[in-house]
C-alpha cells in the first residue's frame, strides 16, 4: 500500500482551524465582562476563522479531482457520519444536549457542503480561471453590498444569497491553494498578517455576519461576511507561504521551527485528530465547562487567564482522548481520528 504523502501546510491549517474553534468556544463562556473597552466575548473573534478554514481546506483538497460518486460519498460520509452518530448517542445517553441530533451544527453543514462538491467540482474542473474568479468576485461583492444595505438601512430586494453559502468557501479554498501571486512569499506573509490583524479588530468592533445582517434569515452560525472572508483568507495564505521554498529571513526561521520533528509530528497528530477533537470538546464544554464558568466571579484580567487556561486544557484533553480512541480497534472508526 502506497504511503499517503502529507502536505505540510494543510496539516498546519487544520491545526490552526481546530485551535480557533476551541479558542472561540472558550471565550464565549462568560459574558458582560469588559476588558480593553470590549466585552471579553469579543476576544473570540481571534479564533472565528476556524470553521471557514476547515471549508477552505476541504475545497483545496477535494475540488478539481476525478470524482466517482459512490466511492466519494462512501468515503466522506463514513468519515463524517460514524463519529457524529457515535457522539450523538453519547450526548443522548448522558443527557448532555437537549436536542443531540441537531447540536453538532458544523458536522451537518459539512455534510451539506459535501453533497454539493460533485456538482461544484465540474464547474471548477472545466471552468476557466476567469469564470472561477467571477464566482468569487460575486461572493465578495455580495458580502459587501449586503453590509452596506444594512449599515445604511437601505431597503432592497436584490437576492444574491446563492453567492454567500458554504460552497463559496470551498471554491475560495481551491482558488487560494492554486493561485500564484506575483509578490514574493515574504511579502504575501506580511500582507496576510496585516489583513488578519485589521479584519480581526474590525470584527471585534462590529461583530459577525449574522450580527451585521440581522434582516437576513440565516439557518446557521457560519460567518460569511466580508471581514470573515478576509480574515480566513489571510490565515490560509500566510500558512501556505510560510512553507514556501522561497521564504527567507525571520519567516524561514519560523518554517524551520515548524518542520522540526517534534513540532511537525505534533501538528500532524492534531491535524489527524481535528474532527474527533471538535466532537469531544463539544461534549466537555456542555457537560462540565459551561456549568463551571457560571460559578466564576473573576475580574476581567483573571477571566481572560481562566479562558486561556481552559482553552489549553480543553485542547490537550480533546487531542489525547481522540488519539487514544483512534488507536483502539473498531473504536478507531468512530473516533474522528483520520
pLDDT digits (tens, 9 = 90+) for 91-100: 999 999 888 8
Looking at the domain assignment, is residue 172 inside a domain?
Answer: yes
Instruction: Extract the C-alpha cell encoding 324.
Output: 487514544
In this predicted structure, what is the pLDDT of residue 297?
86
pLDDT, residue 4, reads: 61
> 39 pLDDT exceeds 90?
no
Average pLDDT, the chain: 91
In this structure, is residue 3 part of a structural domain? no
| Predicted pLDDT of residue 211 | 53
- Structurally, how many domains does the chain consist of? 1
pLDDT of the residue at 110: 94
The answer as to whether 110 is a domain residue is yes
Q: Is 82 helix (H, G, I), strand (E, B) or coil?
A: helix
> Residue 2: inside a domain, yes or no?
no
At 2, the pLDDT band (50, 70, 90 cuts) reads very low
- Checking if the pLDDT of 150 tops 80, the result is no
Q: Is residue 1 part of a domain?
A: no
Q: Which domain holds residue 235?
A: 8-334
3-state secondary structure of 39: strand
- The pLDDT > 90 percentage for the chain reads 72
What is the pLDDT, as a whole number, of residue 214?
44
The yes-or-no verdict on residue 210 having pLDDT over 80 is: no
Lowest mean pLDDT among 12-16, 79-83, 214-218, 259-263: 214-218
Does 51 map to a domain? yes
- Which pLDDT score, from 0 to 100, does residue 220 have? 54
Q: What is the mean pLDDT of residues 35-53?
A: 88
Please, which pLDDT band fits residue 10 given cuts at 50, 70 and 90?
Answer: very high
User: Is residue 118 one of the residues assigned to a domain?
Assistant: yes
pLDDT at 58 over 80: yes
**What pLDDT is stored for residue 300 in this prediction?**
85
CA neighbor of 41 nearest in space, from 49, 50, 29, 53: 29
Residue 251 or residue 158, greater confidence: 251
Q: For residues 85 and 77, what is the distance between their CA atoms, to the nearest angstrom?
A: 11
Q: HSE-up of 212 (CA within 13 Å, CB side)?
A: 23
Burial class (CB in 10 A: 0-12, 13-18, 19+), 2: exposed
pLDDT in tens, 125-145: 999 999 999 999 999 999 898
CA 310 from chain center: how many Å? 20
- pLDDT(3) > 50: no
Q: Which residue has the higher pLDDT, 80 or 38?
A: 80
3-class DSSP state of 274: helix
pLDDT tens per residue, range 247-288: 999 999 999 999 999 999 999 999 999 999 999 999 999 999
Question: Is residue 326 included in any domain, yes or no?
Answer: yes
* pLDDT digit string, tens, across residues 18-37: 999 999 999 999 887 877 76
Amino acid at each position: 500500500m502506497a504511503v499517503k504523502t502529507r502536505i505540510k501546510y494543510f496539516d498546519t491549517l487544520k491545526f490552526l482551524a481546530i485551535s480557533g474553534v476551541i479558542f472561540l468556544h472558550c471565550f464565549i463562556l462568560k459574558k458582560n465582562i469588559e476588558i480593553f473597552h470590549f466585552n471579553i466575548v469579543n476576544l473570540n473573534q481571534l479564533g472565528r476563522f476556524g470553521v471557514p478554514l476547515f471549508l477552505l481546506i476541504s475545497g483545496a483538497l477535494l475540488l478539481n479531482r476525478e470524482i466517482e460518486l459512490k466511492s466519494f460519498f462512501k468515503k466522506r460520509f463514513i468519515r463524517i457520519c460514524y463519529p457524529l452518530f457515535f457522539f450523538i448517542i453519547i450526548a443522548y445517553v448522558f443527557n448532555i444536549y437537549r436536542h443531540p441530533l441537531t447540536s453538532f451544527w458544523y458536522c451537518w453543514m459539512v455534510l451539506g457542503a459535501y453533497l454539493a462538491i460533485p456538482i461544484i467540482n465540474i464547474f471548477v474542473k472545466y471552468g476557466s480561471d476567469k469564470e472561477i474568479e467571477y464566482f468569487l468576485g460575486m461572493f465578495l461583492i455580495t458580502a459587501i453590498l449586503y453590509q452596506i444595505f444594512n449599515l445604511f438601512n437601505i431597503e432592497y430586494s436584490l437576492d444574491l444569497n446563492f453567492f454567500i453559502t458554504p460552497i463559496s468557501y470551498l471554491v475560495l479554498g481551491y482558488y487560494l491553494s492554486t493561485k500564484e501571486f506575483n509578490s514574493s512569499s515574504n511579502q504575501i506573509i506580511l500582507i496576510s498578517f496585516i489583513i488578519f490583524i485589521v479584519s480581526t479588530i474590525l470584527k471585534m468592533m462590529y461583530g459577525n455576519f449574522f450580527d451585521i445582517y440581522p434582516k437576513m434569515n440565516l439557518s446557521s452560525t457560519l460567518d460569511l461576511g466580508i471581514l470573515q472572508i478576509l480574515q480566513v483568507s489571510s490565515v490560509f495564505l500566510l500558512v501556505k507561504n510560510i512553507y514556501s521554498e522561497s521564504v527567507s529571513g525571520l519567516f524561514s526561521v519560523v518554517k524551520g521551527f515548524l518542520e522540526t520533528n517534534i513540532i511537525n509530528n505534533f501538528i500532524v497528530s492534531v491535524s489527524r485528530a481535528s474532527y474527533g477533537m471538535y466532537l469531544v470538546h463539544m461534549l466537555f464544554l456542555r457537560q462540565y465547562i459551561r456549568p463551571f464558568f457560571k460559578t466564576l466571579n473573576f475580574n476581567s484580567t483573571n477571566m481572560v487567564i481562566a479562558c486561556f487556561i481552559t482553552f489549553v486544557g480543553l485542547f490537550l484533553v480533546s487531542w489525547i482522548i481522540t488519539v487514544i480512541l483512534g488507536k483502539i480497534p473498531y473504536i478507531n472508526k468512530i473516533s474522528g481520528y483520520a
